[in-house]
Structures are given as structure tokens and as C-alpha cells.
Amino acid sequence: MNIKKMVDLDLNNKKVLIRVDLNVPIEDGKITSDARIIATLPTIELAIKNNAKIMIMSHLGRPQEGIYTKKYSLFPIFQYLKNYFKKEKIYFSNDYLNGIDINPGEIYILENVRFNCGELKNDHKLSKQYANLCDIFVMDAFGSAHRIQASTYGIGNFVKIACAGPLLISEINSLKKAIKNPQRPLISIIGGSKVSTKFNILNKISQISDTVIVGGGIANTFLAINNKIGKSLYEKNFILKAKKLYDKYNIIVPIDSRVGKNFSHKEKAVIKLISNIKDNEEIMDFGDKTIQKITDIIKKAKTIIWNGPVGVFEFKHFRIGTEMIAKAISDSNAFSIAGGGDTLSVIDMFNIKNNISYISTGGGAFLEFIEGKKLPSIQMLENHFQNQL
């Protein structure tokens, strides 16, 4: 992989535009998980150390393009960073497309790029405007590296210098370690609501894993092959595809589950064998026998890939499966790599981030990289490197 790296460049007195992933959960103006912000801090600190003129850009959520929506403003993240970088001059800008007057050592947090018309469609005019802001563009948003958008891809066609930030390099190297030549057994845990959105990764990860554990709605689709699962979330159109995977690879599905009759945080959990689930009941978490079986498998692992909770962890009565598996991964001596927005929330909820070998900031990018796809932003950086030879 031939790309320029931020750490190798002279940033002194240069306008440096850093595309990061600050797409963090915010409720009532308060950040509920700062994992992605924390992952970005070393890159900003590197720019400060090298006396750069620093501009930080990111998306947040899915606002209607071209329309300011307070809910999706990066202002709470600016306040977080202002509190963190107390010695630096740090500003917020919601009007930056025509340029910013900035001094060395100063930091500007730019408003949500998805408020800009043309961001999602990789508009050339907008890409040029981004490029004109800077001398050096740093792509460090691994979580958005799979998107062909103006701030992640299009800018690379017009900027003078495009390079990869430390976080992006770290993500790539850690993911390669997990999938190229892993220590075995390699155990993969894939949760989430829909098998359709993760079918390709399930197919790929089943080929490289010794054991694949499925949870959430994904597991329900596998269970529906041979069982009645009441009103549980599953995808009927994917049952046949799930069966082909199940018959071919070592995929572990629940043997018992925590079920409820109503999808509510007030609902109490009842543990039932899969064969005993009634029509008016819904699977929402692993049962105790399943948890024991899976934690025993995790104890023997040498490499663990984890993406997604295995139940409705937002409800206190249906989070024990996710909690016990998270803690089993935390207690393991295996090289563990975790990724995905909900996974980051779980890691924060159970305070285990110091015991996970590597926490990826990517969701879709994490899955596509493991699937073996070339991420567009990495391709852009490679193209930029080749064009300057």
C-alpha cells in the first residue's frame, strides 16, 4: 500500500485539513460515547506539535443536505475539544467554504460537512472548495473510508497533498493482523438486526474463522431455518442463504433465548429453549445455556473479531448476553478487535475498552475491509501517491 503518511510530512505553518470521524451519539446536546473523539486526539496533537494551521472536519448523523439542523451540529463536539485543548486557541466555524484566516497552532472545528450541498454525491465544486482550504489534506476517518463523498474522496482529486493520518494507518495495520495471518482459533462474533446487511461479511468471515457466533436478528434468521421463532425479528428472504452458510461453516446459533411479549424496556425476560417459543413471544437476548457455551468458546480463542451486540442491550432485562460475552472478550488473552457504532457503545457501557486489543472506529468500513474490499478513500490516497511520482 503506497500512500503518503501525515507523520512523514512537514506541517509547519501549513494549512492542514483533517477529515476525522466525529460521528458520535449525542442526546439532548450531550455526548454519550466519546470513543471516536478520543481516537482522533493523537492526530490533532500531532498537528499541534508541528505548528500546523489546523482545520477539523467530520459528518454527524444524516441531516437533510443543505439544511442546518441543530440536532446534527458539531457544536457539542467543539465544546468537548475546547475543554480538552485548554492551552490552544480553538474556534468553531459554520461558514468556511470560501476560506478561513487561520494562524499556526490554531484549531478550527468546521460544521457538519453533510450540511453542505453536494457532500453525499461527491460534487466536484464542493470537493474543490474543500481542497482550496488547505495545503495538506489528511484522511483519518476510517469510519467513513468506504464512502465516495466530497470530504472523503472527491477532495483528493484537487488537493495539493493528500495523506493518511495515524488513526487510519493504525486501523489498516490492526485489521490486517486480525485477518491476514491470525493466531488460531479465530473466533468471530457478528451481531445486529439484519442478516441482509451483513450477509457478504458473514460469508467472508466464515471462510477465515474457525467459529462464527451470530446474535441478534441475524441469529434469528438462522434459527428460523428449523424453528418457529414467534414474532422475533428475522428476514424470511434470507433463510435459504443462511442455511447454505450454516451447512457449510461452523456457525454457532443460540440454544436458548431470553424472550418477551412486548418490545419494551419494562418487559421482563423469560428464558426458553428455542423449541419452546410461542407465537406471541419475541427473542431479544441469549439464554444462560447459550451464554455458557459461547463464553467457553471465547476462552479458547487466540484471535477474536467482534462486531455488534447479540441482543437488545438498550433494555436492561435483555442485555445480559451482550454483557457476558463482552466481559468474556475483555477477560480473554486473545488478540481482540472490535468495531461498529453499537459495539463502541457496549464497550463504553461495560467499561472494558482498556481490555480490548484494538477498537476500530469503523462500522461499515470495518466490515468491508474484512470482506476484502478496497476502501475508496484508501484507493484515493494510493492514486494521489501514484500521480505525484
- Grid cell, residue 43, equals 492526530
- From 194, 241, 302, 373, active-site residue: 194
Instruction: Return d(Cα 193, Cα 314) in angstroms, integer.
Output: 13
Relative to beta strand 26-27, strand 30-31 is: antiparallel
Phi–psi pair at 303, nearest 5 degrees: -140, 135
- Nearest in space to 315 (alpha carbons), one of 291, 292, 349, 338: 349
Residue with cell 437488545: 312
Please confirm, yes or no, whether 36 is among the known catalytic residues.
yes
Instruction: Return d(Cα 187, Cα 223) in angstroms, integer.
Output: 20
Distant-in-sequence, close-in-space partners of 129: CB < 8 Å, separation ≥ 6: 97, 98
Please confirm, yes or no, whether 70 is among the known catalytic residues.
no
- Grid cell, residue 221, equals 434468521
Please confirm, yes or no, whether 105 is among the known catalytic residues.
no
- From 156, 308, 341, 362, active-site residue: 341
The DSSP letter of residue 163 is E
Element (H, E) at 136: strand 136-139
The alpha carbon of residue 70 and the mean position of all alpha carbons in its chain are separated, in whole angstroms, by: 23
Please confirm, yes or no, whether 341 is among the known catalytic residues.
yes
- From 143, 192, 363, 364, active-site residue: 364
The residues annotated with a catalytic role in the active site are 36, 194, 341, 364
